[in-house]
């Protein structure tokens, strides 16, 4: 099996003009690096879900950029960067990010924000924190624990979008009367939840300032994206968070507030589901998770420590140490199926150097003793699932300098072959270090 990928794989290149880049695990798969890599062959990069909970880190020429809201495509010169209607926009974070990028010489004039994107207000963050604090440690006999959110107000902002009554959209930042009315109304609703009356005037003043700075960027984006597609421009949809954190298809309730996969692109950017010409699934060579909720292959002790340190597994957004575990191909097969993944991008393979044996979860043993190779999309039920492992030989040598599959140790190639066989999708990219150059483009 080893070495078969290089010769026959043809699924790695982005086909047509609409590419999705999707996280296949619990976020932090390394999407930022891939988006940056592919930006050169795209004219437009669109964020369609999530908010400042996401953390995309990109290393260019040894310089690390951490982006939360601005599409990572902004780092590529001339790329139009779109924050779509499905994103919940935190203007505070956005403005800080813009300032940082500008001070480092990045051209941000190509950033456009959907007028219909919902705004994360300060009370959303307070509400997020209040709900998490209430759940912390479980209450008495209650089986519920906190979700372990990023406390960036994501859930409450999406909840208010669906509630409608007092939600604030980006366009409202430019409509003073409506803005004041919406904020005043929202504060009335929030007071009992927060146990205090938020300061309406202070918030209106802040939101008005946001509007003044963001005004040149706020515009209609649905037609904009369609116009670009019609003009034959190449558009990339940059997923945030990961498939297993999807509010409908993930490990509920330990999920985020949006549809993180390809399904979210239609609603979050205003394009039909049939638009995609390729969907690249980004996965780590192992598993990681931040916050609460089950991860069947979770490791502890020395093995976990080694993976965490080598993989720099600390949150880009919160700095929290990430939980780490062996690869779970049950989850990956599910993610490939849900998203219609056409090509895999395996990230952080270098982190696994130095293990005698690498374990891969290929099935779950459920609480009733039965075995399944299907993912269990429910937090409490998945918590009772035990991994069934296949052991593969590890590789000892560092691989960061490899520039082709042939230069990888045989067991590393066998590991990649095993992944593509079990997931059922061919591998297009293998990342063996943080730099742009440390990427093997399969078949290139």
- Active site annotation includes 56: yes
What does 335-385 look like in DSSP terms, one character per residue? HHHHHT--EEEEE-GGGGTT-SEEEEEEEEE-TTS-EESS----HHHHHT-
Site for ligand IMP in 246-275 (CB under 6 A): 254, 256-257
Give whichever of 221 and 241 is closer to ligand IMP, judged by the CB atom.
Answer: 241
Kindly indicate which of the ranges 70-78, 135-143, 239-247, 388-396 contains the residues binding ligand IMP, using the contact rule CB under 6 A: 239-247
Q: Which residue has the tokens 């080694």?
A: 306
Whether the bond into 362 is cis, omega within 30 of 0: no
The yes or no reply on residue 150 touching ligand IMP (CB under 6 A) is yes
d(CA 216, CA 218): 6
Cβ 223 to ligand IMP shortest distance, Å = 29
Exposed/middle/buried for 185, CB within 10 Å: 0-12, 13-18, 19+? Answer: middle
Where residue 319 falls (left for φ over 0; alpha for ψ -120 to 50; beta otherwise) is left
Cβ 48 to ligand IMP shortest distance, Å = 14
Kindly indicate which of the ranges 8-16, 26-34, 181-189, 343-351 contains the residues binding ligand IMP, using the contact rule CB under 6 A: 26-34
What is the DSSP-derived secondary structure letter of residue 58? E
Q: How many angstroms from the chain centroid is the CA of residue 188?
A: 33
CB 225 within 8 A of CB 235: yes
d(CA 213, CA 197): 27
Lay out the site mask for ligand IMP across 193-232 (x = CB under 6 A, - = otherwise).
----------------------------------------
What does 13-36 look like in DSSP terms, one character per residue? SPPTTEEEEEE-SSS-SSHHHHHH
The one catalytic residue among 28, 126, 128, 417: 28
d(CA 375, CA 359): 18
Kindly indicate which of the ranges 147-155, 214-222, 262-270, 435-443 contains the residues binding ligand IMP, using the contact rule CB under 6 A: 147-155
Reference 52, options 128, 115, 116, 107; nearest CA is: 128
d(CA 321, CA 151): 16
Among 73, 148, 311, 325, binds ligand IMP (CB under 6 A): 148
Among 39, 241, 278, 339, binds ligand IMP (CB under 6 A): 241
Q: Are strands 287-289 and 427-431 parallel, antiparallel or unpaired?
A: unpaired
Binding residues for ligand IMP, rule CB under 6 A, total 21
The yes or no reply on residue 245 touching ligand IMP (CB under 6 A) is yes
Q: Which residue has the tokens 């590419």?
A: 19
Kindly indicate which of the ranges 23-31, 37-45, 167-175, 434-442 contains the residues binding ligand IMP, using the contact rule CB under 6 A: 23-31
Among 14, 17, 18, 28, binds ligand IMP (CB under 6 A): 28
The one catalytic residue among 12, 36, 43, 56: 56
Lay out the site mask for ligand IMP across 347-366 (x = CB under 6 A, - = otherwise).
--------------------
Kindly indicate which of the ranges 148-156, 303-311, 325-333, 416-424 contains the residues binding ligand IMP, using the contact rule CB under 6 A: 148-156
- Active site annotation includes 350: no
CB 179 within 8 A of CB 168: yes
Cβ 133 to ligand IMP shortest distance, Å = 14
The yes or no reply on residue 73 touching ligand IMP (CB under 6 A) is no
The yes or no reply on residue 97 touching ligand IMP (CB under 6 A) is no
Give whichever of 55 and 211 is closer to ligand IMP, judged by the CB atom.
Answer: 55
The yes or no reply on residue 54 touching ligand IMP (CB under 6 A) is yes
CB 57 within 8 A of CB 51: no
Q: Which residues are catalytic?
A: 28, 56
Q: Which residues of this chain interact with ligand IMP, rule CB under 6 A? A: 26-28, 53-55, 147-150, 152, 154-155, 240-241, 245, 254, 256-257, 290-291
């Amino acid at each position: 099996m080893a070495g078969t990928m290089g010769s026959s794989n043809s699924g790695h290149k982005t086909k047509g003009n609409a590419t999705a880049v999707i996280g296949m695990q619990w976020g932090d798969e390394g999407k930022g690096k891939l988006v940056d890599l592919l930006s050169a062959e795209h004219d437009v990069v669109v964020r369609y879900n999530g908010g400042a909970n996401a953390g995309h880190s990109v290393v260019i020429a040894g310089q690390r950029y951490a982006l939360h809201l601005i599409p990572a495509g902004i780092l590529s010169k001339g790329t139009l960067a779109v924050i779509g209607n499905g994103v919940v926009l935190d203007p505070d974070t956005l403005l800080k990010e813009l300032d940082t990028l500008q001070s480092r010489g990045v051209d941000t004039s190509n950033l456009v924000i959907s007028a219909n994107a919902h705004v994360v207000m300060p009370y959303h963050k307070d509400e997020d924190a209040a709900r998490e604090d209430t759940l912390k440690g479980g209450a008495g006999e209650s089986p519920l624990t906190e979700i372990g959110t990023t406390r960036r107000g994501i859930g409450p902002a999406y909840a208010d979008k669906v509630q409608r009554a007092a939600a604030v959209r980006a366009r409202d930042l430019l409509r003073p009367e409506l803005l004041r009315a919406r904020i005043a109304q929202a504060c009335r609703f929030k007071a009992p939840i927060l146990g205090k009356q938020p300061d309406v005037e202070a918030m209106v003043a802040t939101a008005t300032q946001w509007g003044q700075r963001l005004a040149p960027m706020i515009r209609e984006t649905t037609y904009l994206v369609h116009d670009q597609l019609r003009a034959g421009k190449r558009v990339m949809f940059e997923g945030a968070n990961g498939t297993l954190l999807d509010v409908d298809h993930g490990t509920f309730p330990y999920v985020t507030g949006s549809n993180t996969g390809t399904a979210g692109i239609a609603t979050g950017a205003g394009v039909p589901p049939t638009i995609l010409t390729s969907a690249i699934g980004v996965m780590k060579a192992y598993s990681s998770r931040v916050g609460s909720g089950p991860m069947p292959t979770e490791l502890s002790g020395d093995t976990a420590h080694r993976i965490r340190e080598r993989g720099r597994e600390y949150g880009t957004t919160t700095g929290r140490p990430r939980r780490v575990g062996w690869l779970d191909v049950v989850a990956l097969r599910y993610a490939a199926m849900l998203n219609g993944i056409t090509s895999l991008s395996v990230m952080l393979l270098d982190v696994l150097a130095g293990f005698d044996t690498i374990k891969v979860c290929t099935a779950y043993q459920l609480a009733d003793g039965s075995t399944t190779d299907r993912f269990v999309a429910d937090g409490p039920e998945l918590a009772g699932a035990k991994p069934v492992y296949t052991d593969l030989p590890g590789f000892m040598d560092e691989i960061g300098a490899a520039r082709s599959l042939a230069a990888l140790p045989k067991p590393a190639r066998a590991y990649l072959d095993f992944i593509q066989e079990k997931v059922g999708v061919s591998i297009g990219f293998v990342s063996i270090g943080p730099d742009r150059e440390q990427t093997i483009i399969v078949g290139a």
